[in-house]
């Protein structure tokens, strides 16, 4: 079984500043708004949600305040601790529960079932076997259950543009078949990129695809946030185009992330 020890350490270490980093990044805030708008189209009233790689609970708190019950899972002790503190301080115990659990071991959720499964911001890109993870979903979803996964794809236009700066390593890194190393606070671990076709194959014929949407296909990705501050007018125009074109090919596949939502047949 794949080891996530370095991933655990990296995100536990980052948990202390995770919310602050998220709040300060204009691009991340915009992306979350787009993701929430997308998910709310497919969430039904009082749906129970299983959230994978839930982190400090930014998303779970948002959905709880809409009236949904969420069971949050994450492998990072630091992240889960911050999540639990948030649940307690905001008095959300009746709506949010948490569990230290890898998305490769969802069989440990014995006796639990959900209406919706949600994984945000490329958490699933940490696994080298996306099929194994997705294969567990069917037994956890109720009849006509739905899922939304936010995935880092193999092609990101903004990274390809780095070719013109001679940065071939970053420009083509997502195409590496054996994954590439991510570096978070000095901890290096493998990240694997997946195309829409990869996710469709993993879902097999058990699901109906409801929507595929791109995130930051035309506007810069979050780690290039300096451009959003340096050129605010241009950035605003780019995000406008992103939102208009994010539902059509190739902008719903070639982006910093893509959102894919499907329903169990």
| CATH number, domain with residue 41 | 3.40.50.150
Q: How many CA atoms lie within 13 A of 114 on its CB side?
A: 25
In angstroms, rounded to a whole number, what is the distance separating the alpha carbons of residues 184 and 88?
28
- What is the token pair recorded at 141? 């979803």
The continuous run of DSSP H or E covering 96 comes out as: strand 96-100
DSSP state letter for 12: H
Residue 32 contacts residue 215 (beta carbons within 8 Å): no
Per the structure, the complete domain to which residue 254 belongs is given by: 5-264
Cα(56)–Cα(81) distance, rounded to whole angstroms? 8
Mean pLDDT of the chain: 95
CA distance 81 to 97: 12
pLDDT at site 2: 72
Bond preceding residue 250 cis, omega within 30 of 0: yes
* Nearest one of 210, 211, 228 to 219, comparing CA atoms: 228
| pLDDT digit string, tens, across residues 150-192 | 999 999 999 999 898 888 888 999 999 899 999 998 899 999 9
Q: How confident is the model at residue 1 (pLDDT cuts 50, 70, 90)?
A: low
Per residue in 63-83, pLDDT (tens digit) is: 999 999 999 999 999 999 999
Domain count, the chain: 1
Q: What own/partner pairs with CB < 8 Å and gap ≥ 24 does 87-95 have?
A: 87/57, 90/61, 92/61, 92/64, 95/64, 95/67, 95/68, 95/69, 95/70
According to DSSP, residue 231 is labeled S
What confidence category does residue 3 fall into, taking pLDDT thresholds of 50, 70 and 90? Answer: confident
**CA distances (Å), origin 168, targets 41, 171, 173, 193, 196:** 39, 5, 8, 17, 24
DSSP assignment string, 15-42: TTTHHHHHHH-HHHHHHHHHHHHHHHTT
């Amino acid at each position: 079984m794949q080891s996530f020890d370095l991933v655990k350490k990296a995100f536990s270490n980052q948990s202390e500043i995770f919310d602050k980093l998220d709040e300060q990044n204009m691009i991340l805030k915009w992306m979350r708004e787009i993701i929430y708008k997308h998910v709310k189209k497919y969430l039904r009233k009082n749906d129970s949600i299983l959230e994978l790689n839930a982190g400090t609970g930014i998303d779970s708190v948002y959905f709880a305040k809409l009236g949904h019950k969420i069971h949050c899972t994450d492998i990072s002790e630091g992240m889960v601790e911050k999540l639990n503190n948030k649940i307690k301080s905001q008095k959300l115990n009746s709506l949010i529960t948490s569990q230290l659990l890898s998305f490769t071991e969802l069989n440990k959720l014995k006796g639990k079932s959900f209406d919706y499964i949600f994984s945000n911001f490329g958490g699933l890109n940490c696994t080298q076997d996306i099929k194994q993870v997705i294969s567990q979903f069917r037994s956890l979803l109720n009849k006509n259950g739905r899922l939304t996964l936010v995935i880092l794809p193999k092609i990101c236009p903004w990274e390809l543009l780095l070719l013109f700066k001679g940065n071939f390593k970053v420009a083509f890194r997502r195409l590496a078949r054996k994954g590439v190393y991510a570096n978070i606070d000095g901890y290096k671990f493998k990240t694997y990129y997946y195309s829409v076709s990869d996710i469709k194959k993993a879902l097999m014929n058990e699901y109906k695809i409801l929507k595929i949407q791109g995130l930051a296909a035309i506007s810069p990705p979050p780690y290039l946030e300096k451009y959003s501050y340096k050129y605010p007018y241009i950035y605003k125009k780019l995000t406008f185009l992103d939102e208009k074109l994010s539902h059509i090919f190739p902008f719903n596949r070639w982006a910093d992330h893509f959102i894919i939502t499907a329903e169990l047949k």
